[in-house]
Amino acid sequence: MDCVVALDVGGTTMKGGFVAQDGTILHFEQRATPRAEGPGRVIAEISAFVSELSRPRAGLRPLAVGLAVPGLVTETHAVFSAAFGWRDVPASAFTDVDLPVALGHDVRSAGEAELVYGGHSSGDVLFLPIGTGIAGAVVLSGSLYGGAGGWAGQIGHVPVWPDGLACGCGQRGCLAAYASGGALAARCGVASASEVARRVAEGDERAVQVWDEAVEALAAGLATYTLLLDPDTVVVGGGVSQAGDALLGPLRERLAARLTFRRPPELRASVLGARAGVLGAGSLGWRAASPAA
Ligand SMILES: [Zn+2]
């Protein structure tokens, strides 16, 4: 069966596998991203992972490689990533397998997978993965929008409270400083956002306050986005979205309350969940494969 090798490189894990053209994941495995060991090690580990995935396997014929990475990304270069500390890495540096390779932005390609495989009929969507950080894939009239330099969709660093909490990006009051999984955990002094959600369910006072501020920050950020770009739908993904209605319920109410004179966009959880990243890398791979297919 024809397939593509898909690799989604995240800050903590790399998720790789084979994706068929209809979005079926035929094989999946993940391994740790050696981020602490520097950009050279991460690039070498990506190359080794792609080589192993590309080995011949019974019944599968890989046609191309799709590689989704964070940061500022063009079709030919991983231009910059604060998380990995790399600059201007050409696509060819990530793999030496003899297949066409497509490089893309992790969140934008995951957003594309949501569009292609998530059954969305609308063409104006914000895909908002809330994981360790917060990013956004902006879809306008059915097309992913990267902006002039590839920076579009950085909704995590939109200031929601002037002079608010310091953010790792150097600004103050960013959405991510309140509502990212990393911020939720740090503000409660626990290891993960899921632990914060558990404490909220138990009525822990600090966790309830931190969660409440996160929802308020998200409502403020989404109100700004909605007023500027008028999306039909906002798809919330990433680890924090696993809180489900504990997040989306109050968020819907507060977004509607802020948008006094207009209808709010539909807010829904990602249907692809953890598969969005690898399916996004798969979409990149299939784009590289189609000229040859
Ligand atoms: Zn920031």
Q: Are 79 and 163 found together in one domain? A: no
Q: What is the 154 CA–ligand 1 centroid distance (Å)?
A: 9
- Assigned domain for 64 exists: yes
In tens, the pLDDT along 90-145 reads: 999 999 999 999 999 999 999 889 888 887 767 899 999 998 889 899 999 988 89
pLDDT of residue 291: 63
Whole-angstrom distance, CA of residue 69 vs CA of residue 47: 13
Q: Are 259 and 233 found together in one domain? A: yes
Whole-angstrom distance, CA of residue 79 vs CA of residue 114: 25
Instruction: Identify residue 34 by its one-letter amino acid code.
Output: P
CATH assignment at residue 221: 3.30.420.40
- Assigned domain for 116 exists: no
Q: Mean pLDDT across the stretch 164-168?
A: 93
Instruction: Categorize the per-residue pLDDT at 58 as very low, low, confident or very high, splitting at 50, 70 and 90.
Output: confident
Whole-angstrom distance, CA of residue 161 vs CA of residue 141: 30
Residue with tokens 């500022």: 72
CB distance 109 to 237 below 8 Å? no
Instruction: Identify residue 36 by its one-letter amino acid code.
Output: A
Q: Are 37 and 69 found together in one domain? A: yes
Q: Are 93 and 136 found together in one domain? A: no
- Assigned domain for 260 exists: yes
pLDDT of residue 292: 47
**Mean of pLDDT over the chain:** 92
Q: Are 252 and 141 found together in one domain? A: yes
Which residues are placed with Cβ below 5 angstroms of ligand 1, an ion? 157, 167, 169, 171, 174
Domain count, the chain: 2
Tokens for 30? 């993940």
Q: Are 51 and 180 found together in one domain? A: no
CB distance 99 to 62 below 8 Å? yes
Q: Is the pLDDT of residue 50 over 70?
A: yes
Whole-angstrom distance, CA of residue 149 vs CA of residue 147: 6
- Assigned domain for 117 exists: no
Q: Label residue 23 left, alpha or beta by phi (over 0 means left) and psi (-120 to 50 means alpha).
A: left
Q: What is the 37 CA–ligand 1 centroid distance (Å)?
A: 24
Q: Are 36 and 163 found together in one domain? A: no
In tens, the pLDDT along 27-39 reads: 999 999 998 899 9
pLDDT of residue 162: 92
**Sheet arrangement for strand 77-81:** 72-73, 77-81, 86-90
Q: Are 161 and 235 found together in one domain? A: yes
Q: Are 222 and 129 found together in one domain? A: yes
Residue with tokens 């509607």: 256
Q: Is the pLDDT of residue 261 over 80?
A: yes
pLDDT of residue 131: 86
- Assigned domain for 230 exists: yes
Q: Are 139 and 251 found together in one domain? A: yes
Q: Are 8 and 103 found together in one domain? A: yes
Query: Which pTM value belongs to this model?
Result: 0.86
Instruction: Identify residue 130 by its one-letter amino acid code.
Output: I
Q: What is the 120 CA–ligand 1 centroid distance (Å)?
A: 30
Q: Are 251 and 283 found together in one domain? A: no
Range of the domain at 16: 2-111+274-289
Q: What is the 165 CA–ligand 1 centroid distance (Å)?
A: 9
Whole-angstrom distance, CA of residue 266 vs CA of residue 231: 9
Q: Is the pLDDT of residue 147 over 70?
A: yes
Residue with tokens 């080589």: 51
Which of the pair, 148 or 215, is modelled with greater confidence? 215
- Assigned domain for 15 exists: yes
pLDDT of residue 263: 96
- Among 207, 216, 208, residue whose Cα is nearest residue 178: 216
Q: Mean pLDDT across the stretch 53-76?
A: 90
